[in-house]
Chain A
């Protein structure tokens, strides 16, 4: 009994299926985890493990995989899935069996993958998902009949409502086998003869299993490059044989490329007819009607821009009030702590180091919340795939295709998921270009820097009667990042990474009402991560910074002089000559050095050093932005910040690659140091150069 349990717990079960079939939703329902779900193909691009515990206490490891349309992988994310399935990776053991998630509303295309899995004799159980969607579009599918046709067990599920999940669990505990039926789809007679012959030869000479030999034979018969590519792998006699086969089939007028796919679809048609009943068929669905407007060549673009404008409105205006509350809350807290604790270093550390640093960052929680909420809505309604579709025209102008736009949109949240999302791009060079430029798109970590600078220095004015100047400034910063990304994509595509214009083929899932629960949960999770980072990483950095900004202590110095003499002040003054041409002084230098780790650190650094500097005037009730606004160098009488410095600083942050995590992900995804180093170099040079130009022009204009 005990042994059996151990054996079960080491069982490895993989979830596979077409993109957007509901694999992750099912994975979450089975494991209780909360992996990201979204209504567009390509949400999951990595394998994710989870533990599933059955009612009898046994457990097994479940693996969520990216979606794939077939076992011939076309892009890196599909390769992750097929490699696991065919046991071609060393990182994970071959799964004991797989759950194939089939989208019932789109049975034909989904069964294509199923037929390949059956051919490989992989033990499989089918989760016939989205039966609610299928019902709604007027078809009924009998899972019993489908199972009989395929020779495997089929469970009808609605993963998003956890329907059928228990039944699936029960089957997972039992012995799952490969299809009980032998390969059923049949090739035209001549093709079959050639294929069988080749398969026997391969089994003999290459010692392949029957399934592998069959697929290798298909590969050799269809692929136009098979002969030249495999020169060293196969014996000359075999290659000679393949060549003769090609000639024979070509003379008979058989299209070698299409015959295999067509034969499979022929069989699939039969399976569908036997198990599916179509009650009513509507040609134009609601989704189609919406698409006529949303993907229209002019309206589509206008609506996209309007949606973006709304997002910035939310971030800038709606988030303002909660931001003030949080700011006041922290101020209150600092005041109380100051009153409670005896004066001394410990109090300074707590108030000026920890609270000021963390508080400065946490005030931006509302903005982060709205940003994620908005992106979540785009993802869950199905609009994301449409955005890629609309933007394909623009992207093709710079030599990329619409799929490259999804990583850029994801980069509004963070460049890391953005870079991961490039795995759906088929062409290696196009993928690299997209990875190189995605961090130019303004991520959520830049948002606090922008908002702080804008709130402190950009006057509240109306432009053209309707737009507010601060709001416009924020939008300009985002646009600057996007334009830079597009321009550099074009440059890279023309020089370093030349390749043909890619083809755009993308599934557009039907629109659906967003599930508020999922979105709020996801938004909350991201906001929580932001808070957690503020409470751990930012807190640590703020404390270290407080030490660096307080020591060594100088006798009888004013706090301002003290700051200048401190380690941090010395470091800031050390780099001052380098940043002077951009209009930045040593205080900004401290922030720039700190934010090399992460961009938000700039804000916490400002929080800490301005609190230290002002600590002579008892407790000041001024907000950080006012302190920054009022800061004037006592010797020279020059203010640290002017509108121009604020703009220069924002421009610098738009373009500079100040994020160690992005470097790490680039290294992992490209498997080299060359590209991340290149990326840091070009972005830093770009940021420095552009800021310099902006500063010079600004000086001329204000002179």
Chain B
């Protein structure tokens, strides 16, 4: 059984999840939302290496570093 909610950085490659909450600084949250990472959006993890990850949101790939990915809380989608 998988445990949700958890951070985006723990999402395995290929898995789709729903954004639950953003916990970064307000400016960063605002930017993330404008880029499509807003609450309830569906995100798919494309690459999740040790350092950074690439996520697909609204059909675009966005590279994020680990520290922000940790502050994006996601819940189950599939």
Contacts and interface: CB of A to CB of B under 8 A. Distances in A.
Given A106-B58, A506-B63, A72 B40 contact: no
A503 B26 contact: no
Given A72-B34, A261-B34, A392 B52 contact: yes
B60 A503 contact: no
A505 B26 contact: no
Interface residues on A, range: 35 or more
A265 interface: yes
Interface in A207-234: 222-224
A508 B35 contact: no
Nearest to B31: A74
B62 A508 contact: yes
A503 B24 contact: yes
Interface string B25-42: 011111111111011110
Interface stretch (A198-206, A291-299, A416-424, A577-585): A291-299
Given A106-B59, A257-B26, A504-B68, A393 B51 contact: yes
A101 B68 CA distance: 29
Nearest to A20: B60
Contacts of B14: 283-284
Contacts of A283: 14, 44
Interface in A247-282: 255, 257-258, 261-262, 265
B38 to A, nearest CB: 5
B65 A508 contact: no
Contacts of A385: 63
A144 B61 CA distance: 28
A501 B29 CA distance: 16
A392 B33 contact: no
B54 A291 contact: yes
B50 A396 contact: no
Interface in B42-73: 44, 46-47, 49-52, 54, 56, 58-65, 67-68
B46 A507 contact: no
B65 A503 contact: yes
Contacts of A507: 35, 60-63
B63 A389 contact: yes
B39 A108 contact: no
A145 interface: no
Contact of B61 (A70, A108, A296, A508): A508
A388 B62 CA distance: 12
A503 B62 contact: no
Contacts of B30: 72, 222, 257, 261
A4 B46 CA distance: 54
A261 B47 contact: no
A69 interface: yes
Contacts of B8: none
A291 B38 contact: no
Interface string B7-28: 0000000100000001010111
B59 A137 contact: yes
A504 to B, nearest CB: 4
Interface in A357-390: 385, 388-389
B33 A258 contact: yes
Nearest to B40: A262
B60 A106 contact: yes
Interface in A25-64: none
B61 A392 contact: no
Interface residues on B, range: 35 or more
B26 A223 contact: yes
A291 B48 CA distance: 11
A287 interface: yes
Nearest to B36: A109
B35 A69 contact: yes
A401 interface: yes
B39 A105 contact: no
- Most chain A Cβ neighbours within 10 Å, of B40, B52, B56: B52
Nearest to A386: B63
B34 A70 contact: yes
B52 A389 contact: yes
A291 B46 contact: yes
Given A69-B34, A112-B34, A257-B26, A505 B63 contact: yes
B41 to A, nearest CB: 7
Contacts of B59: 105-108, 137
Interface string A179-213: 00000000000000000000000000000000000
Contacts of B52: 295, 389, 392-393, 402, 504
A240 interface: no
A107 B46 CA distance: 20
A283 B13 CA distance: 12
Nearest to B44: A283
- Most chain A Cβ neighbours within 10 Å, of B32, B40, B41, B46: B46
Contacts of B64: 504-505
A262 B54 contact: no
A288 interface: yes
Contacts of B41: 265
Nearest to A505: B64
Interface string A68-79: 011010100000
- Most chain A Cβ neighbours within 10 Å, of B28, B30, B34: B34
A296 B54 CA distance: 11
A608 to B, nearest CB: 50
Nearest to B64: A505
A481 to B, nearest CB: 25
A261 B50 CA distance: 31
Contact of A262 (B26, B38, B44, B47): B38
A5 B13 CA distance: 58
Contacts of B44: 283
Nearest to B49: A297
Given A109-B35, A291-B46, A292-B46, 13 more contacts: A106-B60, A108-B36, A109-B58, A257-B26, A258-B33, A258-B38, A261-B33, A262-B33, A297-B49, A389-B52, A392-B52, A506-B63, A508-B61
3 pairs of A and B residues whose beta carbons are closest in the complex: A108-B58, A261-B33, A504-B65
26 contacts: A108-B59, A109-B35, A109-B36, A112-B36, A255-B39, A258-B29, A262-B40, A265-B41, A291-B46, A291-B47, A291-B61, A295-B49, A297-B51, A389-B52, A389-B54, A393-B52, A402-B52, A501-B67, A503-B65, A504-B52, A504-B65, A505-B31, A505-B63, A505-B68, A508-B62, A510-B61
Interface of B: 14, 22, 24, 26-36, 38-41, 44, 46-47, 49-52, 54, 56, 58-65, 67-68
